[in-house]
Each structure stands twice: as structure tokens, then as C-alpha cells.
Amino acid sequence: MRAHTLIPSALLLLGSLTLTAACSHGSGTPGPTPEAQPGPPSTASRTVDPSKIKGLEIVNDSSEQSSCPFAVSYPDVPGAEAMTAAMKKDVDQRLDTFRSNRCGSGSASGGEFNVSHRFLVASGDVLGVRLTTLDGSGAGNGQSAKSYWYDGKDGAYRQALDLIADGSRDAFSAALKKRLRGHEGVDPTYLDDAFADATHLAGLLDDLSFTTDGGLRVEFEPGTVGGTAAGSFVVSFTKAAITPWLSPFGKRAQKQTERPSDGLDLGATSTPSAAVPTHTASADDDTDCTKVKCIALTFDDGPAAPETATLLDHLARYKARTTFFVVGQNMAAHPALVRAEAKAGHEIGNHTWNHPDLTKLTPEQVAYQLRRTSAAIKAATGKAPTLFRPPYGAINTKVKAATTLAPVLWDIDTEDWKYRDSAKVAQTVIAKARRNSVVLMHDIHPTSVAAVPQILRTLTAEGFHFVTVSHLRATL
Ligand code: NI
């Protein structure tokens, strides 16, 4: 039950919606919710450290081309395969639609497609994840969010509405309608239609999450209970008001949000922990690029397990140094891999938190995307980055003015995200390699990582030295 709308991508921010209209909040006090302001997610929601989730992998897919700008990211947690499958189905369907509308020949102009994730709960036997989707193609759904749940006790994927007991859904719906009715921006016709069909209720109420004080937050996306221009609406229930309506699973999810247990156990048969290489740079790089042929390989969108670890092994074998432009939400899952990159003598650059087109954001949003990621890099490696790569190479004077980081583009594009063909990726780099080139690749794709040994072997034989971007710039 999603409206067919186009929302400016400037509204994209992690889990926080600038369009959120003032609606009932807390015990019914009217006024703007914390989500009404651009910026970080509400402090009322639980902060989960994903690096503590054993065996976690982040499913990533993205392009680096402004003619087909997309980036999707969602977690794959061992034991919760049914939930991963539900996210994959939703994301793939929307991405396919976006790509066929936006990226084909004669494609229409339009915005980007972005799916970012945030953990709501990851402890005890409860996993909750919220995906925020922005579809700026004009053919998609505009902006929306959905929460996905996994019940480790029963070994089952749960939809958001499953937090509410079957027998309490009528009362819950009636309470929501009552809170929304008469509110500015809520259209009575939309409202009655939205709640008229009980079979569509799970689609309408697909974004439920608990607050740290045990309350429940329900978000209605644009176009569901009011016109699209009215934006989204948030209704919050206090713990006392919502608890009698919760299902047994809902009560466990509420408890894990309020007072998380140590660790997550979904009953997975195996949770292999990803290998983290321990290569250590022997000394500073003294390569003089005025005297020898240098080239800077760059790897974007990671880190990814296990691909980044494999790549670090390849690079160590040839004593090659490179630059990694990491994405914050991936780094949150695998900080140890970024630490390993830095320890091996590679440079870490900033590639934003969730890969938006920065030219579509406000200066404050640009600053937030970069600042949050730089802080995560500094926390993992002890050193703040000095470089950033704008997703899709999209940059303008406004973006440059919003940060002190220096932008890095590229002159050799392997288009490895498109081809997924190791031989083709290796051939492209080898054929186009010139002195002082900056090469764009992505370490989230196994095919790109597999192309690296041949690139290193061939170009080393041709006399190339592999250096970081900062080293190349400093010695030219
Ligand atoms: Ni990228």
C-alpha cells in the first residue's frame, strides 16, 4: 500500500525523515516528533553495535555511475535466513523496477535509488532491522521505510504487525485512526480507505519500532493517510498504552529494546567469524612518483566480508598500497577489516555513511554523512581521513563547501559493478593503465577482488608502483 510519488532525494537521511509531520507523540501531547528535524535518528531508538553480531554479512549492491545511481544495503544475520529472504525480495523487486525505468537505453532522467539499513534490536532471540528506501526515479515509491523482525525462539520471520496480538489489532487500528483523525495534513478519505481493508493492514502498518522506554512508534509513509505533500506521520504509544496489545513476540522485542541481553542467539547452526588479515606495513612508503611510474588503485563501497580480507592478502603479496573509500554503514559491521587495511599501510578515505548523491542533500546533511563516517574511521584506525569520494562522482561547489575533506574522483572506471567479470575487469585496468592514474574498483564484488592478482602481476612487470592517493598527490 504505497503511494506513487516522487520525493526529493534531499530528504534522504538515515532513519530520519524531514517530512515527518507533527502528530501525536508520547502520551498524546501534540507537537513535532524528534524525527521532524533533519539529522541523526531519534535518540529514543536503541543504538545497536552491529560489529558484535557473530557471522554478520552486509548484502551490498551499488553503482558508481550518475546514469544509473543506486546503492542498496541490508544485513544477512546467521539464523535469520527467512528474514534476509524477505528483505532481499523487497529490495530486488524495487531495484529491478528502478533499473529498468532509469538505467536502460533512453532512460528517463530522475533521482537515485537508495536502500540503507539500521538495526533496531539484535539481542536475546530478537532481531529487528529497519530499511529506509528512497526511489527518485519517479516510477517508484518515493521515500518509505519498513521494519523486519525475526523471532529466534520460534525460528520465524515476523512482519511489523506481528508485534501486535491478533486479537488486539482492531483496537490498535481504532486507536491509530483516532489519533490521526483531525490532524493537520491527514485526509479523512485517505484515512478511511487506508484502514478499510483488514487484509492490507500489514502493508499499511509495516514500520513499527520500539523506543528505549518501551513505547511503540508507528510511521505512516507519505500518501497513505494524507496527500503525498503532507509527508509522513508518526504516532507514538507509551509503554503502558501499547503493552496490553502486544503479542508474545512483541513483548520480547519490547523487552530487548528496553534492556538488551548480552549477545544475540537466533539458533543458527554455525556463525563463522570472518577472517581478519594481520599484514603490517614495514615502514612509510618512500616511492618517488617523480622518478618511477606510479598508479593508485582505489576500492569503494566496502568493507565487505569475506571479500576485503581476500583482497588484503592479494595486496600484501605484491606489497601494493591502495586507497579504500569505505561506506560508514558497512564499516559499522566490520570495523576490524578497516583497522586491518590501515595496519597494512593502505589509506582509508570517506565514501559517506550510506552512499547518497551528495548534490541532492542540504549542506547540513552532507556534513552529517561525512562527519559520521570520518568519526567511525577515526575510532577504528586512530586516524581521521583527509580524502572523500562522492558517490557517483557527483560533486558541486555546495558539497565542497560543506566539508574540509579533499574530493577524489578517478580517471579509469572499470565498471566492475556492472560486468562482474574478473577477466574483463583485469583487462580494462591493464589496457588503460597510465602513469599516475587513479583506478576505480569495488571490493564488495568477489569478481573485482579476483581480478586483482592479474592486475598486480602484469602492471608490476610493466614497472608500475602501487601507491595511495595521498602519496601520489604528495609526490607529484
Ligand atoms: Ni560507491
Task: Report pLDDT for 475.
Answer: 84
Task: Report pLDDT for 107.
Answer: 57
Task: Report pLDDT for 271.
Answer: 75
Q: Which residues pair with 73 in a beta bridge?
A: 60
Phi-psi domain of 322 (left: phi exceeds 0; alpha: psi -120 through 50; beta: other): beta
Q: Do residues 302 and 308 make contact, with C-beta atoms less than 8 angstroms apart?
A: yes
CATH architecture for residues 293-475: Alpha-Beta Barrel (3.20)
Q: Is the pLDDT of residue 39 over 70?
A: no
Distances (CA, A) of 382 to 220, 262, 348: 41, 27, 11
Mean pLDDT along residues 177-206? 93
What pLDDT digit, counting tens, does each position of 461-472 carry?
A: 999 999 999 999
Q: Using 50, 70 and 90 to split pLDDT, how confident is the model at 22? A: very low
66-75 CB burial, b ≥16 within 10 A, e <16? eebbbbbbbb
Coil, strand, or helix at residue 356?
coil
Residues 6+ apart with CB under 8 A from 233: 20, 21, 23, 180, 183, 185, 186, 219, 220, 225, 226
Q: Is the pLDDT of residue 196 over 70?
A: yes
Mean pLDDT along residues 158-175? 97
Task: Report pLDDT for 342.
Answer: 97
Q: Do residues 252 and 116 make contact, with C-beta atoms less than 8 angstroms apart?
A: no
As a whole number of angstroms, the distance between CA 187 and CA 199 comes to 21
Q: Has 4 been annotated as catalytic?
A: no
As a whole number of angstroms, the distance between CA 373 and CA 365 comes to 12
Residue-by-residue DSSP string for 420-441: --HHHHHHHHHHH--TT-EEEE
What pLDDT digit, counting tens, does each position of 253-296 carry?
A: 999 999 999 999 998 887 777 789 989 987 889 999 999 999 99
What pLDDT digit, counting tens, does each position of 444-465 carry?
A: 999 999 999 999 999 999 999 9
Give distance in angstroms: CA of 147 to centre of ligand 1: 25
Mean pLDDT along residues 364-388? 97
Give distance in angstroms: CA of 115 to centre of ligand 1: 13
CATH class of the domain comprising 14-258: alpha beta
Give distance in angstroms: CA of 56 to centre of ligand 1: 21
Task: Report pLDDT for 2.
Answer: 42
Task: Report pLDDT for 274.
Answer: 74
Q: Has 355 been annotated as catalytic?
A: no
Q: Is the pLDDT of residue 389 over 80?
A: yes
Give distance in angstroms: CA of 465 to centre of ligand 1: 24
Mean pLDDT along residues 239-262? 97
Catalytic residue among 442, 445, 465, 471: 442
Task: Report pLDDT for 190.
Answer: 94
Give distance in angstroms: CA of 300 to centre of ligand 1: 5
Q: pLDDT higher for 321 or 418?
A: 321
- Span of 65-69, 121-125, 432-436 with lowest mean pLDDT: 65-69
Task: Report pLDDT for 141.
Answer: 55
DSSP E strand boundaries for 329-405: 347-350, 387-388
Q: Do residues 448 and 442 make contact, with C-beta atoms less than 8 angstroms apart?
A: yes
Mean pLDDT along residues 138-153? 85
Coil, strand, or helix at residue 108?
coil
Domain positions in the chain: 14-258, 293-475
- Span of 24-28, 46-50, 165-169, 173-177 with lowest mean pLDDT: 24-28
Give distance in angstroms: CA of 193 to centre of ligand 1: 41
Give distance in angstroms: CA of 355 to centre of ligand 1: 6
Give distance in angstroms: CA of 62 to centre of ligand 1: 7
Catalytic residue among 300, 301, 357, 443: 300
Show the CA angle centred on residue 9, arms to residues 210 and 36, nearest 5°.
40
Task: Report pLDDT for 108.
Answer: 57
Q: Using 50, 70 and 90 to split pLDDT, how confident is the model at 231? A: confident
Neighbours of ion ligand 1 (CB under 5 A): 64, 300-301, 391
